[in-house]
Structure 1
Protein backbone atom coordinates (compact mmCIF):
# COMPACT_ATOMS: atom_id res chain seq x y z
CA UNK A 1 0.00 0.00 0.00
CA UNK A 2 1.35 3.43 -0.91
CA UNK A 3 0.17 6.49 0.96
CA UNK A 4 0.42 9.72 -0.96
CA UNK A 5 1.16 12.94 0.90
CA UNK A 6 -1.99 15.02 1.45
CA UNK A 7 -2.17 18.42 -0.14
CA UNK A 8 -1.25 21.19 2.28
CA UNK A 9 -4.26 23.14 3.46
CA UNK A 10 -4.44 26.88 3.10
CA UNK A 11 -3.55 29.13 6.03
CA UNK A 12 -6.39 30.34 8.22
CA UNK A 13 -6.02 33.90 6.90
CA UNK A 14 -6.49 32.98 3.21
CA UNK A 15 -9.75 32.69 1.29
CA UNK A 16 -10.51 29.09 0.43
CA UNK A 17 -11.34 28.59 -3.25
CA UNK A 18 -13.72 25.84 -4.36
CA UNK A 19 -11.92 22.60 -5.16
CA UNK A 20 -11.62 21.77 -8.88
CA UNK A 21 -14.16 19.21 -10.07
CA UNK A 22 -11.57 16.42 -10.14
CA UNK A 23 -10.25 17.30 -6.67
CA UNK A 24 -13.78 17.62 -5.31
CA UNK A 25 -14.70 14.17 -6.65
CA UNK A 26 -11.59 12.62 -5.08
CA UNK A 27 -12.33 14.41 -1.82
CA UNK A 28 -15.88 13.05 -1.71
CA UNK A 29 -14.64 9.51 -2.45
CA UNK A 30 -12.03 9.71 0.32
CA UNK A 31 -14.61 11.04 2.77
CA UNK A 32 -16.88 8.14 1.80
CA UNK A 33 -14.05 5.63 2.28
CA UNK A 34 -13.32 6.97 5.77
CA UNK A 35 -17.03 6.95 6.64
CA UNK A 36 -17.54 3.33 5.58
CA UNK A 37 -14.42 2.14 7.42
CA UNK A 38 -15.39 4.04 10.58
CA UNK A 39 -18.84 2.49 10.40
CA UNK A 40 -17.22 -0.92 10.83
CA UNK A 41 -15.26 0.40 13.80
CA UNK A 42 -18.45 1.05 15.78
CA UNK A 43 -19.43 -2.60 15.31
CA UNK A 44 -15.92 -3.72 16.33
CA UNK A 45 -15.96 -1.38 19.34
CA UNK A 46 -19.32 -2.75 20.48
CA UNK A 47 -17.93 -6.28 20.13
CA UNK A 48 -14.95 -5.42 22.37
CA UNK A 49 -17.06 -3.80 25.10
CA UNK A 50 -17.42 -6.96 27.19
CA UNK A 51 -13.80 -8.09 27.02
CA UNK A 52 -11.43 -5.09 26.70
CA UNK A 53 -11.56 -1.99 28.97
CA UNK A 54 -12.11 1.19 26.88
CA UNK A 55 -8.80 2.90 27.67
CA UNK A 56 -6.82 -0.27 26.95
CA UNK A 57 -8.64 -0.77 23.65
CA UNK A 58 -7.92 2.81 22.58
CA UNK A 59 -4.27 2.65 23.63
CA UNK A 60 -3.59 -0.53 21.66
CA UNK A 61 -5.58 0.88 18.74
CA UNK A 62 -3.05 3.69 18.37
CA UNK A 63 -0.02 1.50 19.00
CA UNK A 64 -1.19 -0.70 16.11
CA UNK A 65 -1.92 2.40 13.99
CA UNK A 66 1.60 3.73 14.62
CA UNK A 67 3.14 0.44 13.51
CA UNK A 68 0.96 0.45 10.37
CA UNK A 69 1.81 4.04 9.39
CA UNK A 70 5.50 4.09 10.42
CA UNK A 71 6.92 2.57 7.18
CA UNK A 72 5.32 5.39 5.17
CA UNK A 73 5.44 8.27 7.64
CA UNK A 74 8.71 7.91 9.55
CA UNK A 75 10.83 9.61 6.87
CA UNK A 76 8.48 12.61 6.31
CA UNK A 77 8.10 12.90 10.09
CA UNK A 78 11.89 13.12 10.54
CA UNK A 79 12.28 15.61 7.68
CA UNK A 80 9.62 17.87 9.19
CA UNK A 81 10.70 17.62 12.82
CA UNK A 82 11.59 21.33 12.96
CA UNK A 83 8.18 22.39 11.57
CA UNK A 84 6.42 20.01 13.95
CA UNK A 85 8.29 21.51 16.90
CA UNK A 86 7.22 25.01 15.79
CA UNK A 87 3.59 23.91 15.63
CA UNK A 88 3.66 21.54 18.60
CA UNK A 89 0.75 23.27 20.34
CA UNK A 90 -1.53 22.98 17.31
CA UNK A 91 -0.53 19.35 16.68
CA UNK A 92 -1.06 18.42 20.33
CA UNK A 93 -4.54 20.01 20.31
CA UNK A 94 -5.48 18.04 17.17
CA UNK A 95 -4.15 14.85 18.80
CA UNK A 96 -6.16 15.55 21.95
CA UNK A 97 -9.46 15.96 20.09
CA UNK A 98 -8.97 13.47 17.25
CA UNK A 99 -6.95 10.69 18.86
CA UNK A 100 -7.17 10.76 22.66
CA UNK A 101 -10.63 12.10 23.52
CA UNK A 102 -12.71 11.07 20.50
CA UNK A 103 -11.78 7.41 20.51
CA UNK A 104 -11.87 7.04 24.30
CA UNK A 105 -15.38 8.51 24.36
CA UNK A 106 -16.50 6.15 21.58
CA UNK A 107 -15.24 3.08 23.43
CA UNK A 108 -16.78 4.34 26.67
CA UNK A 109 -20.13 4.77 24.91
CA UNK A 110 -19.90 1.21 23.57
CA UNK A 111 -20.29 -0.12 27.11
CA UNK A 112 -23.90 1.05 27.45
CA UNK A 113 -25.38 1.73 24.01
CA UNK A 114 -25.83 -0.17 20.76
CA UNK A 115 -23.59 0.12 17.71
CA UNK A 116 -26.61 1.43 15.76
CA UNK A 117 -27.14 4.27 18.24
CA UNK A 118 -23.42 5.05 18.21
CA UNK A 119 -23.43 5.51 14.45
CA UNK A 120 -26.64 7.53 14.44
CA UNK A 121 -25.56 9.91 17.18
CA UNK A 122 -22.19 10.49 15.50
CA UNK A 123 -24.19 12.01 12.67
CA UNK A 124 -24.41 15.09 14.91
CA UNK A 125 -20.76 15.77 14.03
CA UNK A 126 -21.47 17.24 10.55
CA UNK A 127 -23.89 19.76 12.08
CA UNK A 128 -21.12 20.97 14.40
CA UNK A 129 -18.67 21.00 11.45
CA UNK A 130 -21.08 23.18 9.48
CA UNK A 131 -21.40 25.58 12.43
CA UNK A 132 -17.60 25.80 12.70
CA UNK A 133 -17.34 26.41 8.93
CA UNK A 134 -19.94 29.20 9.07
CA UNK A 135 -18.19 30.83 12.04
CA UNK A 136 -14.99 30.67 10.00
CA UNK A 137 -16.60 32.66 7.19
CA UNK A 138 -17.43 29.82 4.80
CA UNK A 139 -20.66 30.17 2.82
CA UNK A 140 -22.64 26.95 2.94
CA UNK A 141 -25.27 27.74 0.30
CA UNK A 142 -29.03 27.14 0.33
CA UNK A 143 -28.82 23.69 -1.29
CA UNK A 144 -26.29 22.39 1.19
CA UNK A 145 -28.25 23.79 4.13
CA UNK A 146 -31.46 22.19 2.84
CA UNK A 147 -29.71 18.84 2.41
CA UNK A 148 -28.24 19.21 5.88
CA UNK A 149 -31.70 19.81 7.34
CA UNK A 150 -33.18 16.79 5.54
CA UNK A 151 -30.33 14.55 6.74
CA UNK A 152 -30.67 15.87 10.31
CA UNK A 153 -34.39 15.10 10.25
CA UNK A 154 -33.64 11.56 9.08
CA UNK A 155 -31.09 11.05 11.86
CA UNK A 156 -33.43 12.43 14.55
CA UNK A 157 -36.25 10.17 13.41
CA UNK A 158 -33.86 7.23 13.26
CA UNK A 159 -32.65 7.83 16.83
CA UNK A 160 -36.22 8.37 18.05
CA UNK A 161 -37.55 5.23 16.33
CA UNK A 162 -39.89 7.23 14.08
CA UNK A 163 -40.56 10.01 16.61
CA UNK A 164 -38.84 13.29 17.36
CA UNK A 165 -39.03 12.44 21.07
CA UNK A 166 -35.58 11.13 21.96
CA UNK A 167 -34.73 9.27 25.17
CA UNK A 168 -30.97 9.29 25.69
CA UNK A 169 -29.03 6.97 27.99
CA UNK A 170 -25.50 7.44 29.41
CA UNK A 171 -23.86 5.79 26.40
CA UNK A 172 -25.75 8.11 24.04
CA UNK A 173 -24.47 11.16 25.94
CA UNK A 174 -20.91 9.82 25.71
CA UNK A 175 -21.42 9.58 21.94
CA UNK A 176 -22.59 13.19 21.69
CA UNK A 177 -19.38 14.20 23.47
CA UNK A 178 -17.44 12.09 20.95
CA UNK A 179 -19.24 13.85 18.07
CA UNK A 180 -18.23 17.25 19.48
CA UNK A 181 -14.62 16.11 19.83
CA UNK A 182 -14.46 14.74 16.27
CA UNK A 183 -16.05 17.88 14.79
CA UNK A 184 -13.50 20.02 16.64
CA UNK A 185 -10.69 17.86 15.23
CA UNK A 186 -12.08 18.23 11.69
CA UNK A 187 -12.35 22.01 12.09
CA UNK A 188 -8.72 22.14 13.20
CA UNK A 189 -7.60 20.22 10.11
CA UNK A 190 -8.67 23.09 7.87
CA UNK A 191 -6.28 25.36 9.75
CA UNK A 192 -3.27 23.06 9.53
CA UNK A 193 -0.24 25.34 9.12
CA UNK A 194 0.97 25.78 5.55
CA UNK A 195 4.09 23.75 4.80
CA UNK A 196 3.31 21.08 7.37
CA UNK A 197 3.26 17.75 5.54
CA UNK A 198 -0.01 15.87 5.95
CA UNK A 199 1.55 12.45 6.55
CA UNK A 200 4.07 13.79 9.05
CA UNK A 201 1.27 15.65 10.83
CA UNK A 202 -0.88 12.50 10.96
CA UNK A 203 1.97 10.44 12.41
CA UNK A 204 2.72 13.15 14.98
CA UNK A 205 -0.91 13.18 16.18
CA UNK A 206 -0.80 9.40 16.55
CA UNK A 207 2.40 9.61 18.63
CA UNK A 208 1.12 12.44 20.84
CA UNK A 209 -2.29 10.79 21.25
CA UNK A 210 -0.71 7.51 22.39
CA UNK A 211 1.56 9.39 24.83
CA UNK A 212 -1.46 11.19 26.31
CA UNK A 213 -3.25 7.86 26.75
CA UNK A 214 -0.27 6.09 28.39
CA UNK A 215 -0.95 7.24 32.01
CA UNK A 216 -4.64 6.28 31.80
CA UNK A 217 -3.64 2.93 30.27
CA UNK A 218 -1.26 2.25 33.18
CA UNK A 219 -4.00 3.04 35.72
CA UNK A 220 -6.52 0.84 33.88
CA UNK A 221 -4.03 -2.02 33.76
CA UNK A 222 -3.34 -1.75 37.49
CA UNK A 223 -7.02 -1.47 38.50
CA UNK A 224 -8.82 -3.63 35.93
CA UNK A 225 -6.08 -6.01 34.84
CA UNK A 226 -5.32 -6.99 31.27
CA UNK A 227 -7.63 -8.56 28.70
CA UNK A 228 -7.55 -12.04 27.14
CA UNK A 229 -5.51 -12.25 23.95
CA UNK A 230 -7.81 -14.26 21.68
CA UNK A 231 -8.96 -14.01 18.05
CA UNK A 232 -12.10 -12.31 19.40
CA UNK A 233 -10.04 -9.43 20.84
CA UNK A 234 -7.03 -9.29 18.50
CA UNK A 235 -9.12 -9.28 15.29
CA UNK A 236 -11.24 -6.21 16.18
CA UNK A 237 -8.17 -4.41 17.55
CA UNK A 238 -6.30 -4.98 14.28
CA UNK A 239 -9.29 -3.66 12.33
CA UNK A 240 -9.68 -0.48 14.37
CA UNK A 241 -5.90 0.00 14.53
CA UNK A 242 -5.01 -0.50 10.86
CA UNK A 243 -8.19 0.43 9.00
CA UNK A 244 -10.23 2.68 11.32
CA UNK A 245 -7.17 4.58 12.54
CA UNK A 246 -4.38 4.54 9.94
CA UNK A 247 -6.34 4.24 6.68
CA UNK A 248 -9.52 6.11 7.63
CA UNK A 249 -7.79 9.05 9.34
CA UNK A 250 -5.44 9.46 6.37
CA UNK A 251 -8.39 9.43 3.95
CA UNK A 252 -10.42 11.86 6.08
CA UNK A 253 -7.53 14.33 6.49
CA UNK A 254 -6.96 14.29 2.73
CA UNK A 255 -10.68 14.77 2.06
CA UNK A 256 -10.88 17.77 4.41
CA UNK A 257 -7.82 19.27 2.69
CA UNK A 258 -9.53 18.91 -0.70
CA UNK A 259 -13.15 19.86 -0.01
CA UNK A 260 -13.30 21.31 3.51
CA UNK A 261 -14.71 19.94 6.77
CA UNK A 262 -18.31 21.06 6.13
CA UNK A 263 -18.66 19.30 2.79
CA UNK A 264 -16.83 16.19 3.98
CA UNK A 265 -19.17 16.25 6.97
CA UNK A 266 -22.18 15.91 4.66
CA UNK A 267 -20.81 12.58 3.39
CA UNK A 268 -20.37 11.56 7.02
CA UNK A 269 -24.17 11.41 7.27
CA UNK A 270 -23.99 8.08 5.47
CA UNK A 271 -22.43 6.58 8.57
CA UNK A 272 -25.71 5.79 10.38
CA UNK A 273 -26.86 3.89 7.29
CA UNK A 274 -23.63 1.89 7.08
CA UNK A 275 -23.56 1.18 10.83
CA UNK A 276 -27.21 0.07 10.85
CA UNK A 277 -26.62 -2.36 7.97
CA UNK A 278 -23.42 -3.77 9.50
CA UNK A 279 -25.05 -4.03 12.95
CA UNK A 280 -27.92 -5.99 11.45
CA UNK A 281 -25.60 -8.31 9.51
CA UNK A 282 -23.01 -8.90 12.25
CA UNK A 283 -24.72 -8.21 15.59
CA UNK A 284 -28.37 -8.92 14.80
CA UNK A 285 -29.50 -5.38 15.73
CA UNK A 286 -32.77 -4.85 13.83
CA UNK A 287 -33.90 -1.51 12.43
CA UNK A 288 -37.38 -2.10 10.91
CA UNK A 289 -39.37 -0.36 8.11
CA UNK A 290 -39.35 3.03 9.86
CA UNK A 291 -35.57 2.86 9.98
CA UNK A 292 -35.47 2.22 6.24
CA UNK A 293 -37.56 5.35 5.62
CA UNK A 294 -35.23 7.39 7.82
CA UNK A 295 -32.25 6.04 5.89
CA UNK A 296 -33.89 7.27 2.68
CA UNK A 297 -34.13 10.76 4.20
CA UNK A 298 -30.46 10.67 5.18
CA UNK A 299 -29.37 9.49 1.74
CA UNK A 300 -31.54 12.12 0.05
CA UNK A 301 -30.09 14.87 2.22
CA UNK A 302 -26.53 13.73 1.49
CA UNK A 303 -27.22 13.61 -2.27
CA UNK A 304 -28.77 17.09 -2.20
CA UNK A 305 -25.94 18.64 -0.20
CA UNK A 306 -23.19 16.96 -2.23
CA UNK A 307 -24.56 17.83 -5.69
CA UNK A 308 -22.85 20.66 -7.57
Structure 2
Protein backbone atom coordinates (compact mmCIF):
# COMPACT_ATOMS: atom_id res chain seq x y z
CA UNK A 1 0.00 0.00 0.00
CA UNK A 2 1.16 3.53 -0.71
CA UNK A 3 1.88 5.97 2.10
CA UNK A 4 -0.80 8.69 2.18
CA UNK A 5 0.35 12.29 2.65
CA UNK A 6 -2.17 15.07 3.24
CA UNK A 7 -0.94 18.63 2.63
CA UNK A 8 -2.71 21.47 4.40
CA UNK A 9 -2.88 24.63 2.29
CA UNK A 10 -3.79 27.85 4.09
CA UNK A 11 -4.16 31.40 2.81
CA UNK A 12 -0.73 32.85 2.13
CA UNK A 13 0.73 29.42 1.33
CA UNK A 14 4.19 29.57 -0.22
CA UNK A 15 3.83 28.20 -3.74
CA UNK A 16 7.26 26.58 -3.83
CA UNK A 17 6.62 24.77 -0.54
CA UNK A 18 3.28 23.53 -1.84
CA UNK A 19 4.82 22.23 -5.05
CA UNK A 20 7.87 20.47 -3.60
CA UNK A 21 6.25 17.50 -1.76
CA UNK A 22 4.28 16.15 -4.76
CA UNK A 23 7.44 16.35 -6.88
CA UNK A 24 9.84 14.72 -4.41
CA UNK A 25 7.49 12.09 -3.01
CA UNK A 26 6.10 11.44 -6.48
CA UNK A 27 9.63 10.66 -7.67
CA UNK A 28 10.08 7.98 -5.00
CA UNK A 29 9.15 4.72 -6.75
CA UNK A 30 9.77 1.01 -6.47
CA UNK A 31 11.63 -1.05 -9.13
CA UNK A 32 8.33 -1.54 -10.96
CA UNK A 33 7.90 2.26 -11.16
CA UNK A 34 5.03 2.16 -8.68
CA UNK A 35 4.86 5.21 -6.36
CA UNK A 36 5.57 4.78 -2.69
CA UNK A 37 3.46 7.83 -1.77
CA UNK A 38 0.23 9.58 -2.67
CA UNK A 39 -0.08 13.31 -1.97
CA UNK A 40 -3.40 15.10 -1.63
CA UNK A 41 -4.01 18.79 -1.00
CA UNK A 42 -6.50 19.92 1.63
CA UNK A 43 -7.85 23.23 2.90
CA UNK A 44 -10.41 24.26 5.50
CA UNK A 45 -13.83 23.73 3.93
CA UNK A 46 -12.17 22.71 0.68
CA UNK A 47 -12.05 26.39 -0.21
CA UNK A 48 -9.58 27.92 -2.67
CA UNK A 49 -6.58 29.60 -1.08
CA UNK A 50 -4.39 32.35 -2.44
CA UNK A 51 -0.59 31.88 -2.31
CA UNK A 52 1.71 34.58 -1.00
CA UNK A 53 2.44 35.85 -4.50
CA UNK A 54 2.02 34.92 -8.15
CA UNK A 55 -1.49 36.13 -8.95
CA UNK A 56 -3.25 32.73 -8.83
CA UNK A 57 -5.37 30.59 -6.53
CA UNK A 58 -5.00 27.01 -5.37
CA UNK A 59 -8.20 24.96 -5.56
CA UNK A 60 -7.73 21.89 -3.35
CA UNK A 61 -9.46 18.59 -4.00
CA UNK A 62 -10.39 18.07 -0.36
CA UNK A 63 -11.42 19.69 2.88
CA UNK A 64 -9.56 18.61 6.02
CA UNK A 65 -11.18 15.16 6.09
CA UNK A 66 -8.06 13.31 4.73
CA UNK A 67 -6.13 14.38 7.84
CA UNK A 68 -8.17 11.82 9.78
CA UNK A 69 -6.61 8.90 7.89
CA UNK A 70 -3.35 10.19 6.35
CA UNK A 71 -0.09 8.50 7.36
CA UNK A 72 1.70 11.87 7.17
CA UNK A 73 0.30 15.39 7.47
CA UNK A 74 2.42 18.10 5.86
CA UNK A 75 2.06 21.86 6.33
CA UNK A 76 3.80 24.07 3.73
CA UNK A 77 5.09 27.52 4.60
CA UNK A 78 2.81 30.51 4.92
CA UNK A 79 3.52 34.19 4.42
CA UNK A 80 1.62 36.47 6.76
CA UNK A 81 -1.64 35.62 8.46
CA UNK A 82 -2.52 35.24 12.15
CA UNK A 83 0.05 32.51 12.86
CA UNK A 84 2.81 34.99 12.04
CA UNK A 85 1.22 38.09 13.55
CA UNK A 86 -0.83 37.13 16.59
CA UNK A 87 -0.07 33.43 17.15
CA UNK A 88 -3.66 32.37 16.44
CA UNK A 89 -4.81 29.51 14.23
CA UNK A 90 -8.20 28.54 12.84
CA UNK A 91 -9.76 26.19 15.46
CA UNK A 92 -10.77 23.76 12.72
CA UNK A 93 -7.14 23.43 11.60
CA UNK A 94 -5.91 23.17 15.19
CA UNK A 95 -8.33 20.37 15.98
CA UNK A 96 -7.51 18.44 12.80
CA UNK A 97 -3.74 18.68 13.34
CA UNK A 98 -3.96 17.68 17.00
CA UNK A 99 -6.22 14.74 16.20
CA UNK A 100 -3.88 13.52 13.46
CA UNK A 101 -0.89 13.72 15.79
CA UNK A 102 -2.76 12.04 18.64
CA UNK A 103 -3.62 8.99 16.51
CA UNK A 104 0.03 8.62 15.44
CA UNK A 105 0.30 10.39 12.09
CA UNK A 106 3.72 11.81 11.23
CA UNK A 107 3.62 15.62 11.14
CA UNK A 108 5.90 17.64 8.83
CA UNK A 109 6.27 21.35 8.20
CA UNK A 110 8.25 23.28 5.62
CA UNK A 111 9.62 26.77 6.37
CA UNK A 112 7.08 28.92 8.24
CA UNK A 113 4.66 26.02 8.24
CA UNK A 114 6.29 25.44 11.63
CA UNK A 115 4.35 28.48 12.87
CA UNK A 116 1.13 26.59 12.12
CA UNK A 117 2.33 23.61 14.15
CA UNK A 118 3.46 25.93 16.95
CA UNK A 119 0.10 27.70 17.00
CA UNK A 120 -1.59 24.29 17.26
CA UNK A 121 0.59 23.51 20.30
CA UNK A 122 2.39 20.62 18.61
CA UNK A 123 5.86 22.11 19.10
CA UNK A 124 5.66 23.05 22.79
CA UNK A 125 8.81 21.79 24.52
CA UNK A 126 10.24 20.52 21.25
CA UNK A 127 13.16 21.54 19.02
CA UNK A 128 11.99 22.88 15.67
CA UNK A 129 13.51 24.47 12.56
CA UNK A 130 12.20 27.27 10.37
CA UNK A 131 13.50 30.02 8.09
CA UNK A 132 16.22 32.14 9.71
CA UNK A 133 14.59 35.39 8.57
CA UNK A 134 11.62 34.74 10.90
CA UNK A 135 13.73 33.98 13.97
CA UNK A 136 12.82 37.03 16.07
CA UNK A 137 9.13 36.83 15.20
CA UNK A 138 8.79 33.12 15.92
CA UNK A 139 10.73 33.28 19.17
CA UNK A 140 8.47 36.09 20.37
CA UNK A 141 5.21 34.45 19.32
CA UNK A 142 6.08 30.90 20.39
CA UNK A 143 8.51 31.02 23.34
CA UNK A 144 7.70 27.43 24.37
CA UNK A 145 9.43 26.12 21.26
CA UNK A 146 13.19 25.46 21.22
CA UNK A 147 13.86 27.06 17.82
CA UNK A 148 16.98 26.06 15.89
CA UNK A 149 17.61 28.42 12.97
CA UNK A 150 21.01 26.97 12.06
CA UNK A 151 19.92 23.60 10.65
CA UNK A 152 18.33 22.78 7.30
CA UNK A 153 15.82 20.52 9.02
CA UNK A 154 15.17 18.83 12.34
CA UNK A 155 13.87 15.29 12.73
CA UNK A 156 12.00 14.99 16.00
CA UNK A 157 10.67 11.53 15.21
CA UNK A 158 6.91 12.08 14.99
CA UNK A 159 7.25 15.79 14.16
CA UNK A 160 9.75 17.03 11.56
CA UNK A 161 10.40 20.66 10.60
CA UNK A 162 12.56 22.32 7.96
CA UNK A 163 14.11 25.69 7.20
CA UNK A 164 12.97 27.81 4.28
CA UNK A 165 12.14 27.01 0.67
CA UNK A 166 14.92 24.74 -0.65
CA UNK A 167 15.31 23.08 2.75
CA UNK A 168 11.87 21.57 2.18
CA UNK A 169 13.45 19.46 -0.55
CA UNK A 170 16.13 18.33 1.90
CA UNK A 171 13.52 17.30 4.45
CA UNK A 172 11.33 15.46 1.94
CA UNK A 173 14.34 13.52 0.67
CA UNK A 174 15.30 12.76 4.28
CA UNK A 175 11.83 11.31 4.87
CA UNK A 176 12.13 9.15 1.74
CA UNK A 177 15.59 8.02 2.89
CA UNK A 178 14.26 7.08 6.34
CA UNK A 179 11.24 5.25 4.88
CA UNK A 180 12.82 3.42 1.95
CA UNK A 181 16.60 3.74 2.14
CA UNK A 182 19.35 5.70 0.47
CA UNK A 183 19.02 4.16 -2.98
CA UNK A 184 15.37 5.22 -3.35
CA UNK A 185 16.10 8.71 -2.02
CA UNK A 186 19.09 9.16 -4.33
CA UNK A 187 17.04 8.10 -7.35
CA UNK A 188 14.25 10.51 -6.37
CA UNK A 189 16.84 13.29 -6.08
CA UNK A 190 18.21 12.51 -9.53
CA UNK A 191 14.73 12.57 -10.99
CA UNK A 192 14.20 16.01 -9.41
CA UNK A 193 17.70 17.13 -10.50
CA UNK A 194 18.68 18.15 -6.96
CA UNK A 195 21.51 17.00 -4.67
CA UNK A 196 20.46 14.03 -2.51
CA UNK A 197 22.17 15.63 0.49
CA UNK A 198 23.50 19.09 1.32
CA UNK A 199 26.32 19.59 3.79
CA UNK A 200 26.05 22.09 6.60
CA UNK A 201 23.07 24.07 7.79
CA UNK A 202 21.23 27.22 6.85
CA UNK A 203 23.82 29.33 8.69
CA UNK A 204 25.74 29.46 5.40
CA UNK A 205 22.76 31.27 3.82
CA UNK A 206 22.05 33.80 6.58
CA UNK A 207 22.69 37.41 5.69
CA UNK A 208 25.20 38.96 8.08
CA UNK A 209 25.85 42.48 6.83
CA UNK A 210 28.60 44.62 8.29
CA UNK A 211 27.07 47.07 10.80
CA UNK A 212 26.07 50.33 9.17
CA UNK A 213 28.45 53.25 9.52
CA UNK A 214 27.24 55.56 12.26
CA UNK A 215 29.96 58.17 11.97
CA UNK A 216 30.83 58.10 15.64
CA UNK A 217 31.73 55.89 18.59
CA UNK A 218 33.76 52.90 17.52
CA UNK A 219 32.58 52.97 13.88
CA UNK A 220 35.72 54.72 12.52
CA UNK A 221 37.83 52.07 14.21
CA UNK A 222 35.69 49.32 12.73
CA UNK A 223 36.20 50.82 9.28
CA UNK A 224 39.93 51.07 9.98
CA UNK A 225 40.07 47.41 11.04
CA UNK A 226 38.13 46.29 7.96
CA UNK A 227 40.82 47.81 5.76
CA UNK A 228 43.41 45.70 7.59
CA UNK A 229 41.78 42.29 7.74
CA UNK A 230 44.88 40.63 6.28
CA UNK A 231 47.06 42.14 9.02
CA UNK A 232 47.30 41.27 12.71
CA UNK A 233 45.09 43.72 14.61
CA UNK A 234 45.20 43.59 18.40
CA UNK A 235 42.61 44.82 20.87
CA UNK A 236 45.13 47.35 22.15
CA UNK A 237 45.67 48.70 18.64
CA UNK A 238 41.93 49.07 18.09
CA UNK A 239 41.49 50.85 21.40
CA UNK A 240 44.46 53.09 20.61
CA UNK A 241 42.96 54.01 17.25
CA UNK A 242 39.70 54.94 18.99
CA UNK A 243 41.66 56.91 21.62
CA UNK A 244 40.06 54.99 24.45
CA UNK A 245 41.26 52.69 27.17
CA UNK A 246 40.88 49.00 26.38
CA UNK A 247 38.14 48.68 29.00
CA UNK A 248 36.13 51.66 27.71
CA UNK A 249 36.61 50.65 24.10
CA UNK A 250 35.47 47.07 24.76
CA UNK A 251 32.34 48.30 26.55
CA UNK A 252 31.47 50.86 23.87
CA UNK A 253 32.17 48.34 21.12
CA UNK A 254 29.86 45.75 22.66
CA UNK A 255 27.12 48.35 23.18
CA UNK A 256 27.26 49.33 19.50
CA UNK A 257 27.65 45.92 17.84
CA UNK A 258 26.48 43.36 20.38
CA UNK A 259 29.85 41.61 20.12
CA UNK A 260 33.27 41.84 21.69
CA UNK A 261 35.95 43.39 19.42
CA UNK A 262 37.66 40.01 18.98
CA UNK A 263 34.45 38.19 18.01
CA UNK A 264 33.43 40.98 15.66
CA UNK A 265 36.84 40.93 13.95
CA UNK A 266 36.71 37.16 13.56
CA UNK A 267 33.23 37.40 12.04
CA UNK A 268 34.41 39.98 9.50
CA UNK A 269 37.41 37.81 8.58
CA UNK A 270 35.21 34.78 8.03
CA UNK A 271 32.80 36.91 5.96
CA UNK A 272 35.70 38.19 3.85
CA UNK A 273 36.97 34.64 3.38
CA UNK A 274 33.51 33.60 2.19
CA UNK A 275 33.50 36.47 -0.30
CA UNK A 276 36.91 35.43 -1.64
CA UNK A 277 35.80 31.81 -1.94
CA UNK A 278 32.71 32.92 -3.86
CA UNK A 279 34.32 35.43 -6.19
CA UNK A 280 37.95 34.39 -6.80
CA UNK A 281 40.05 31.38 -7.76
CA UNK A 282 42.55 31.98 -4.97
CA UNK A 283 43.79 28.88 -3.20
CA UNK A 284 42.32 28.15 0.22
CA UNK A 285 45.71 29.02 1.79
CA UNK A 286 45.77 32.41 0.11
CA UNK A 287 42.15 33.08 1.02
CA UNK A 288 43.03 32.35 4.64
CA UNK A 289 45.99 34.73 4.59
CA UNK A 290 44.16 37.55 2.83
CA UNK A 291 41.29 37.34 5.30
CA UNK A 292 43.65 37.37 8.28
CA UNK A 293 42.90 33.81 9.41
CA UNK A 294 46.49 32.69 8.87
CA UNK A 295 46.25 29.20 7.43
CA UNK A 296 43.98 26.85 5.53
CA UNK A 297 43.59 24.81 8.70
CA UNK A 298 42.40 27.83 10.66
CA UNK A 299 40.01 28.85 7.88
CA UNK A 300 38.62 25.33 7.72
CA UNK A 301 38.06 25.25 11.48
CA UNK A 302 36.38 28.66 11.62
CA UNK A 303 34.18 28.04 8.58
CA UNK A 304 33.15 24.64 9.88
CA UNK A 305 32.29 26.14 13.27
CA UNK A 306 30.46 29.12 11.77
CA UNK A 307 28.42 27.66 8.92
CA UNK A 308 29.01 23.92 9.13
CA UNK A 309 30.89 23.32 5.87
CA UNK A 310 34.58 23.30 4.84
CA UNK A 311 35.96 25.88 2.36
CA UNK A 312 35.94 23.54 -0.64
CA UNK A 313 32.29 22.59 -0.16
CA UNK A 314 31.33 26.23 0.33
CA UNK A 315 33.11 27.22 -2.86
CA UNK A 316 31.40 24.47 -4.86
CA UNK A 317 28.03 25.75 -3.71
CA UNK A 318 28.53 29.48 -4.09
CA UNK A 319 31.32 30.05 -6.61
CA UNK A 320 30.21 32.66 -9.14
CA UNK A 321 30.96 31.82 -12.76
TM-score category of the 2 structures, normalised to the smaller one:
under 0.3
Larger radius of gyration: 2
Give the structure with the higher percent helix: 1
Q: TM-score, normalised by structure 1?
A: 0.25
Question: Greater relative contact order: 1 or 2 (C-alpha under 8 angstroms, separation 6 or more)?
Answer: 1
